[in-house]
């Protein structure tokens, strides 16, 4: 069986470097057999992939891609904490925050961007509990923010 990093490579993806926090927190914390990430924004090469509200300036498709990138950034924070993604036994919980217009109701579909990524990378161990929450605004005007909890 291949490693999570090998499965990411097969998908044409890689885990980026951990992005610097935008405030006074750390990207991930290990507590016992779990790692909790801070909220991860859709940063690529030091910049947000998109800004604005889903259903407004950001399309649902763009938001799905942002959620996927948030997932990769969360995996980067976890890898920095534990050394390698192969140490993850299962993904326990995903929380996806979607900054959206009042009439947009597709938050669960946006969250599928990260959920499907985790399934592709970890198989059954990537299946998780999840919340997808619509919010009026996120840090730096990001359209999506994602938190993960994994068991190691």
Residue 19 DSSP one-character state: P
From edge to edge, which strands make up the β-sheet containing 144-151?
Answer: 28-31, 34-37, 144-151, 90-99, 129-135
CA distances from 40 to 1, 3, 37, 103 (A): 29, 23, 8, 25
Single pTM value for the model: 0.97
Does the structure show a pLDDT above 70 at 116?
yes
Does the structure show a pLDDT above 90 at 138?
yes
- Each residue's pLDDT tens digit, 46-85: 999 999 999 999 999 999 999 999 999 999 999 999 999 9
- For position 20, what pLDDT does the model report? 82
Distance between CA atoms of 105 and 122, rounded to whole angstroms?
A: 28
Set out the domains of the chain in order of their start, with CATH numbers: 4-151 (3.30.1330.40)
Does the structure show a pLDDT above 90 at 26?
yes
pLDDT tier, 1 (very low <50, low <70, confident <90, very high otherwise): low
What is the average per-residue pLDDT within 126-150?
A: 98
């Amino acid at each position: 069986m291949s490693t999570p990093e090998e499965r990411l490579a097969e998908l044409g993806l890689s885990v980026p470097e951990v992005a610097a926090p935008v405030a006074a927190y750390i990207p991930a914390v290990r507590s016992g057999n779990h790692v909790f990430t801070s909220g991860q924004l859709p940063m690529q090469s030091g910049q947000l992939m998109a800004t604005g509200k889903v259903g407004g300036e950001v399309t649902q498709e763009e938001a799905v891609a942002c959620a996927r990138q948030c997932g990769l950034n969360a995996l980067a924070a976890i890898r920095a904490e534990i050394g390698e993604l192969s140490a993850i036994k299962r993904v326990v919980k995903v929380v996806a925050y979607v900054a959206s217009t009042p009439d947009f109701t597709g938050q669960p579909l946006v969250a599928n961007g990260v959920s499907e990524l985790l399934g592709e990378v970890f198989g059954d161990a990537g299946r998780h509990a999840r919340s997808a929450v619509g919010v009026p605004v996120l840090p730096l005007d990001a359209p999506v923010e994602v938190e993960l909890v994994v068991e190691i």
